[in-house]
Amino acid sequence: MLKHLNILIIFIFFISSSLLKAQDIQWEEIAPGVWKTTVGQPDEYDLLKASDVPPKWDALKKRKGGDFPFDISEFKAEVSGDNTHLRLPLEVEEQIFGFGLNFKTVHQRGQILQLHVDHYGGRDNGRTHAPVPLYISSLGYGVFVNSARYIDVYAGTAARKDSDQAPEARDRNTDRNWTSRPYSDAVEMLVQSKGVEVYVFAGPTPLEAMSRYNLFTGGGPLPPRWGLGFTQRVHKLFTADQVIEEAKTFEEKGFPLDFIGLEPGWQSKSYPNTFVWDEERFPEPEAFLNELKDIGVRVNLWVNPFVSPESPVYKKILPYTGTHTVWAGIVPDFTIKETQDIFWDHFEKEHVGIGVSGYKIDEVDGYDRYLWPDVAKFPSGISAEQMRQTYGLLVQKQSAEIFRKNNQRTYGLVRASNGGGTSFPYVIYNDYYNHEDFITALINSSYSGVLWTPEARASKTAEEWLRRMQSVVFSPMAMINAWSSGTKPWSYPEVEKEVKDMALLRMQMMPYWYSEFAKYHFHGIPPIRGMDLEDGFSMNFEEKVLSDDDVDLEVNPYAEAVRKEIKDQYMTGEYLLVAPMFTGQTTRKVILPKGKWYDFYTGDFAGESEIITVTPGLDKIPVYVKNGAIIPFTDPILHAPKKGEKINIEFRFYGDKNGKYHLYDDDGETFDYENGDFSWREVQVVKQNNGKFKGSLSPAEKGKPDNLGKITWKFMTSQ
């Protein structure tokens, strides 16, 4: 009897656990340099189904392919019961980046994470606003796991006894090379699902791999021009008159402003929300929106999707909501067509239809205490876990559709996203407020296919305010979020002029930001990039600039040396390296990758393949420009140019070698560019026989948009 039981157990073990060997795993090359495999039986609902965006096949197909980027036999997958285990190889010198919007770490090798949509809680443990299951390798490839489950990641932390490179046992008593982190040769993941799709993106460079992922998920969003201007969010109980007053004050004081954000108090009730204008604070919403638009300012509305019993959509939507409430509001199941119609039709009629330009979609990320628990049920049958992982994707996709239907682009804010969300016109923000960590998040956004804003709210000192505003200017959304503090850009008189100069610089650089976003959209190149996506940057630099802190083994026998990673400088657009300064800092180190680099403000030579130490003064954020760079500037305008409005361009040239730039142009507001209504203009600077540089600009193609006014040239570097 016992013998039979043993045989049965062994048999059950065999059918419930199947190690898929390399030969069982089929990789299909779905575009040059993009491979897909399906392990076991994946869930029907996943990240790509939730985001539902077609890949930019044309752009992907134009890319050069190549060999599968790592030893294909080193990919191992095992389906065991309800779990899928994945194992991917790691070379000794390999570093990995990504796994979503982390705030403290850039190097992910050595991290243990549970990828779980949540409000960031101060630790990089996988719980974050966009826990994208994507990593990019320093060896030039990317891996994406298409699952809407919480995923456990052991990123080079676990050592297997059957590994070819299993770590050697060392004696801690005597061997100084003993380490608490023995070598691990794999990224291992546990997905609680009977199967999963995995995608691999080839390089050869990390940037090439990242851009393939971005194109595969639809390419970056192309914001309207106004989205790249300045935005202020007003106090939550402001009235229409106060908002208009605020917009006028910006104008009078000469501060740029393109859109104003209204916080929860625009509604009759909030938390849970009615989605209805408050009659006292906003008695005539349409007239209010028009009055603002006349002075060049648009309106963005705060919402979270949790519906108040007093909302006009409540009764209709009730059958299509989950079992649990959030702040006593019902939770729409946005995977159902009826829900989408009821909910977004109201938004279209009551907001977008009368002139609202965008949304800030709050609290779709988490905080376990208020969000639905994992035991919740939704009428579609999608599990609570999958709903949580994808809720941010669903609201971004569906709200953006309203604007598309009206042939108007939008650019808004959201607190949760995930894999597949690259193309949505939303920027992530949160309630955390550490300036240094905000910059690390900017860097990490570039390895995750999402956008992030290091918003400024208020500051303890004028210095802090200016330093924060400087970072805001070099970010995807230049925002002051004064929903609680009521802070204005001029609230710190000691630095009012410096803040204003920065804000105007943001506007002057509008043609640059716009062209760089077009490159994100059409070519998948993120407008903000971590240094490791930059050619000519090497991790050896990091070793030189950072040294290990002493490890006190008395205090913690397993202590680890401090990581060597660069978390405080990044690239923005094709040519600019930004090195923010933080409160209390007067000097800092900046790593200049290969090639010559120039000071953004003076055009002077700054260094070449080296680490420089700079003391920029309070009014400057250190920015360096690549040799041969051409940066398009416009006038210090207070509002982004409207459709059809001409803009003057001053091309600033830096360095001592010929340069080229691609300047993008379209109407700046609609989706007509999708029908070919756009132009790329080639800008060139070439050294003449007399040793002087001369610039030229190609004409716009016949019938294509041409919004350029007066063109001038400025040669920043004296020869």
Q: Which residues bind ligand GAL (CB under 6 A)?
A: 236, 263-264, 302, 362-363, 431, 481, 483
Q: Least distance (Å) from ligand GAL to the CB of residue 430?
A: 6
Residue 635: which of 620, 647, 644, 645 has the closest Cα? 647
266, 278 Cβ separation under 8 angstroms: yes
Q: Which sign, positive or negative, has the C-alpha torsion 249, 252, 255, 260?
A: positive
Residue 102's alpha-carbon distances to 117, 123, 299, 424, 561, in angstroms, are 12, 8, 30, 20, 20
Q: Which sign, positive or negative, has the C-alpha torsion 31, 34, 40, 41?
A: negative
Q: Least distance (Å) from ligand GAL to the CB of residue 360?
A: 7
Q: Least distance (Å) from ligand GAL to the CB of residue 172?
A: 46
Three-class HEC string of 499-525: HHHHHHHHHHCHHHHHHHHHHHHHHCC
Residue 710: which of 609, 633, 658, 597 has the closest Cα? 633
What CA–CA distance (Å, rounded) separates 473 from 597? 21
Residue with Cβ nearer ligand GAL (205 or 481): 481
Three-class HEC string of 535-604: CCCCHHHHHHHCCCCCCCCCCCCCCCCCCCCCCCCEEECCCEEECCCCCCCCCEEEEEEEEEEEECCCCC
Residue with Cβ nearer ligand GAL (111 or 270): 270
Residue the block writes with tokens 């600019």: 576
End-to-end CA distance of the chain: 93
Residue with Cβ nearer ligand GAL (263 or 568): 263
Residue with Cβ nearer ligand GAL (13 or 367): 367
Report the DSSP pairing between strands 96-98 and 134-137: antiparallel
Q: Least distance (Å) from ligand GAL to the CB of residue 307?
A: 16
Q: Least distance (Å) from ligand GAL to the CB of residue 638?
A: 25
Instruction: Give the total residue count for the chain.
Output: 719
Q: What stretch of H or E contains 477?
A: none
Q: What stretch of H or E contains 280?
A: none
Beta bridge partners of 313: none
Q: Least distance (Å) from ligand GAL to the CB of residue 479?
A: 10
Q: Least distance (Å) from ligand GAL to the CB of residue 270?
A: 7
Residue with Cβ nearer ligand GAL (11 or 370): 370
Residue 285: which of 305, 303, 269, 262 has the closest Cα? 262
Residue with Cβ nearer ligand GAL (483 or 570): 483
Q: Least distance (Å) from ligand GAL to the CB of residue 264?
A: 5
Residue with Cβ nearer ligand GAL (108 or 128): 128
What percent of the chain is helix, strand and coil (3-state, nearest 5)? 25, 25, 50
Q: Least distance (Å) from ligand GAL to the CB of residue 251?
A: 25
Q: Least distance (Å) from ligand GAL to the CB of residue 119?
A: 8
Query: What φ, ψ does residue 197 adopt, rounded to 5°?
Result: -95, 140
Residue with Cβ nearer ligand GAL (362 or 666): 362
Residue 206: which of 139, 107, 132 has the closest Cα? 139
Q: Least distance (Å) from ligand GAL to the CB of residue 487?
A: 13
Q: Least distance (Å) from ligand GAL to the CB of residue 369?
A: 13
Buried b (16+ CB within 10 A) or exposed e, 59-80: bbeebeeeeebbebeebbbbbe
Residue with Cβ nearer ligand GAL (363 or 665): 363
What CA–CA distance (Å, rounded) separates 543 from 647? 45
Residue with Cβ nearer ligand GAL (76 or 281): 281
Residue with Cβ nearer ligand GAL (428 or 631): 428
Residue with Cβ nearer ligand GAL (363 or 565): 363
What CA–CA distance (Å, rounded) separates 208 from 582? 32
Residue with Cβ nearer ligand GAL (363 or 498): 363
Q: Least distance (Å) from ligand GAL to the CB of residue 171?
A: 52
The encoded tokens of residue 60 equal 């992907």
